[in-house]
């Protein structure tokens, strides 16, 4: 193996794991980091992100596959806790000495087979460039529609806490996870707070089971209370309902109907205004005027889901107004919302215009990328879907990789980044190859993603964790073996009912560390996890998954060869295939048809 020189730009979670994987394969790798600390938005610097930030993925899921979290229980980490985890990771694998801090990359030019990288302290050369700067680089500009506003307009990147908004009338634009936190914090101190969205949005509580079984359950209070953490179980967490293998073996229509049924039950629960709000808004997102009728059969799979229920909690208490309207007009400090799709109670009936005065507008409108410093003769398409697995642009081989632009619909970016980094290290070592027809494969997978995530056309980094992880681990050669039910019933149940946590991908293959898997899984025995007392899991998931794998998938495999291809191939194929086999090129395999019996 020829050792390659690798330069990685950015020391956030994606850059750190990229550095670790390159070093483990013997490559000469260095990170160039513009700040003086690691972690990116999860750094120890307070200003790296707002004060109220808690992760939307559990500590077990956000941990890298070979470096478990310290806690022996499952929880959602505060940003400072995850920053400490990243520092422990960097120290454990000896990464800090390979990071050039307080250094800016001014230009990276590919000259033949070599990158010439001009930095603020000089020039370096590299065989491979890995870009890990992340998609939260440059705040999007203020939209023209807010130009006439007579008050303050700020971007959420400037938000630290709600102190500056006490007693004000505030409009929050956006309904993402950070917007949910920003809105909830402001609503707690403002005279009046409104959230505006152009279309209905889908919300998902971090603890699905707890909200349903414990009326009045306060998600944010739980995250702040250590005692409450220790009362939570694996089965309480959203990731258990979205990323288990049994759930993802279901056909898409069944997976979606479970969600629609859950939303309907929530929407009719008048004893819990918060759940009622969440159910009504999520249902409206898949059936509002003008939306494609097929979206109903995709439910939460049709677009981005906000895995943060603080908007619905504050709205349910009457502390936060929510306006879903297609148009907005600004005159001075007066804002008029017209063409209202969903009223403040979550009803989908058209309602009159909503008119309010505001002192401040907070834009939770996201970020854009800055790639002007990358210079190549070959033209690059900057859309992540134009890169194979959201990582490798065609025509560059192992010369260029973008790690950190595969954003899971459920799951964390560090985990997709780790899989991409593991494959790229093998690619540089000559142990793996990219597809010979990489452009064709990428185009097919890109078109499937675009059709699938129809409600989030602009979020082109969006991917499906179960499918993405299965596809990448098949490429790496580290797919976990299916446990035998007869010989290891506990491990078999965990394989099918627990989330697809990263530790599963250290059981075999390159970089195998099965002892790490045991270290994690021994903390969470099946008895006491609550995965076996969930009636939805037992009554719907297991029987339908078995039928799906033994009969429906077998039928498609044997008699519908085209259905084995990834992506969208018409109504019968899309909705009747297992959800796991729709995106990212993860095809059905003969052995998987009978894996329930193992």
Collapse the DSSP code of 7 into the 3-class scheme (helix H, G, I; strand E, B; otherwise coil) and give the result.
strand
CA–CA separation, 122 and 107 (whole Å): 11
Residue 154 tokens read as: 């700020």
Task: Output DSSP code: residue 73.
Answer: S
Write down the pLDDT at residue 590: 54
Q: Give the integer Cα–Cα distance in Å for 329 and 324.
A: 14
Tokens of 546: 């078995």
Helix residue ranges, H only, 286-412? 310-316
Choose among 1, 259, 7: nearest CA to 126.
7
Topology (CATH level 3) of domain 144-204+250-366: FAD/NAD(P)-binding domain (3.50.50)
Kindly report the number of other CB atoms within 10 A of residue 593's CB atom: 18
What is the model's pTM?
0.93
Closest CA to 446 of 394, 379, 387, 380: 387
140: left (phi over 0), alpha (psi -120 to 50) or beta: beta
Q: Cα angle vertex 595, ends 573, 388, to 5°?
A: 55
Element (H, E) at 452: helix 438-452
Nearest-angstrom CA–CA distance, 547 and 559: 17
Q: Where on the phi/psi map is residue 512: left (φ > 0), alpha (ψ -120 to 50), or beta?
A: beta
Domain ranges of the chain: 5-38+95-137+369-463, 144-204+250-366, 480-597
Reply yes or no on domain 5-38+95-137+369-463 having CATH 2.40.160.50. no
Q: What is the DSSP string of 303-336?
A: S-EE---HHHHHHHTTS-EEEEEEEEEEEBTEEE
Lookup: tokens for 62? 């956000």
pLDDT of residue 564: 43
Task: Single out the residue of 148, 163, 151 nearest to residue 358, CA to CA.
Answer: 151
Q: Which residue has the tokens 């806790």?
A: 81
The pLDDT value given to residue 578: 81
CB of 531 closer than 8 Å to CB of 234: yes
Those residues whose C-beta lies under 8 Å from the C-beta of residue 127, and which sit 6 or more positions away, are: 4, 5, 6, 113, 114, 115, 398, 399, 428
- The C-alpha atoms of residue 413 and residue 558 are separated, in whole angstroms, by 36
Q: What's the confidence (pLDDT) of residue 552?
A: 56
Residue with tokens 């870009």: 131
The token duo for 518 is 């045991």
Query: What's the rounded Cα separation, in Å, for the pair 240 and 232?
Result: 13
Fold match between 5-38+95-137+369-463 and 144-204+250-366?
yes
Rg, C-alpha atoms of the chain: 24
For the chain (length 598 residues), average pLDDT per consecutive 10?
Answer: 92 98 97 96 90 95 97 93 97 98 97 96 96 86 94 96 97 95 96 94 87 79 87 89 88 86 82 84 86 86 92 90 94 95 74 92 92 92 96 97 96 96 97 96 94 92 96 96 88 91 97 96 88 60 59 53 45 68 79 52
Which residues lie closer than 8 Å to 112 by C-beta, 6 or more apart? Answer: none
């Amino acid at each position: 193996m020829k050792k390659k020189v690798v330069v990685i730009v950015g020391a956030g979670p994606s850059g750190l794991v990229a550095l670790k994987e390159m070093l483990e394969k013997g490559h000469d790798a260095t990170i160039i980091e513009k700040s003086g600390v690691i972690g990116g938005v999860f750094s120890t610097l307070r200003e790296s992100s707002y004060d109220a930030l808690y992760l939307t993925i559990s500590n077990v899921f956000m941990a890298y596959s070979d470096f478990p979290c310290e806690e022996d229980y499952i929880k959602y980490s505060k940003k400072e806790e995850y920053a400490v985890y990243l520092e422990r990771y960097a120290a454990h694998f000896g990464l800090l000495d390979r990071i050039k801090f307080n250094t800016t990359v001014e230009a990276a030019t590919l000259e033949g087979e070599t990158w010439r990288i001009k930095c603020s302290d000089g020039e370096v050369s590299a065989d491979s460039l890995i870009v890990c700067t992340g998609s939260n680089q440059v705040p999007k500009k203020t939209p023209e529609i807010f130009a006439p506003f007579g008050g303050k307009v700020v971007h959420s990147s400037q938000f630290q806490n709600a102190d500056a908004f006490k007693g004000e009338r505030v409009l929050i634009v956006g309904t993402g996870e950070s917007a949910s936190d920003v809105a909830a914090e402001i609503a707690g101190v403002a005279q009046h707070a409104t959230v505006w969205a152009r279309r209905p949005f889908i919300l998902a509580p971090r603890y699905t089971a707890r909200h349903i079984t414990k009326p009045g359950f306060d998600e944010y209070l739980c995250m702040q209370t250590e005692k409450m953490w220790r009362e939570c179980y694996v089965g309480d967490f959203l990731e258990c309902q979205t990323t288990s293998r049994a759930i993802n073996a279901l056909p898409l229509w069944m997976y979606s109907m479970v969600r629609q049924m859950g939303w309907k039950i929530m929407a009719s629960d008048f004893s819990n205004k918060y759940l009622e709000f969440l159910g009504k808004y999520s249902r409206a997102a898949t059936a509002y005027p003008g939306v494609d009728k097929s979206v109903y059969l995709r439910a939460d799979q049709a677009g981005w889901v906000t895995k943060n229920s603080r908007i619905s909690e504050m709205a349910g208490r009457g502390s936060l107004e929510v306006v879903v309207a297609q148009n907005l007009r600004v005159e001075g400090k007066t804002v008029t919302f017209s063409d209202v799709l969903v009223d403040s109670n979550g009803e989908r009936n058209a309602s009159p215009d909503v008119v309010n005065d505001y002192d401040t507008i907070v834009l939770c409108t996201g970020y854009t990328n800055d790639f002007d410093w990358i210079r190549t003769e070959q033209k690059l398409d900057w859309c992540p879907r134009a890169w194979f697995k959201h990582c490798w642009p065609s025509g560059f081989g192992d010369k260029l990789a973008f790690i950190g632009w595969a954003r899971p619909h459920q799951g964390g970016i560090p985990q997709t980044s780790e899989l991409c980094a593991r494959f790229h290290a093998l690619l540089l070592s000559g142990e793996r190859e990219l597809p010979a027809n990489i452009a064709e494969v990428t185009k097919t997978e890109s078109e499937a993603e675009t059709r699938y995530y129809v409600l989030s056309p602009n979020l082109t980094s969006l991917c499906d964790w179960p499918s993405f992880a299965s596809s990448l681990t098949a490429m790496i050669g580290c797919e976990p073996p299916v446990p035998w039910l007869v010989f290891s019933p506990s491990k078999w149940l965990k394989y099918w009912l627990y989330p697809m946590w990263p530790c599963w991908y250290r059981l075999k293959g390159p970089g195998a560390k099965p002892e790490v898997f045991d270290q994690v899984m021994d903390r969470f025995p099946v008895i006491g996890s609550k995965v076996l007392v969930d009636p939805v899991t037992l009554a719907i998931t297991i029987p339908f998954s078995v039928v799906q794998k033994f009969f429906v998938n077998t039928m498609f495999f044997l008699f519908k060869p085209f259905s084995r291809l990834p992506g969208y191939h018409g109504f019968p194929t899309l909705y009747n295939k297992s959800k796991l086999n729709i995106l990212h090129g993860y095809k059905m395999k003969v052995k998987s048809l009978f894996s329930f019996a193992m």
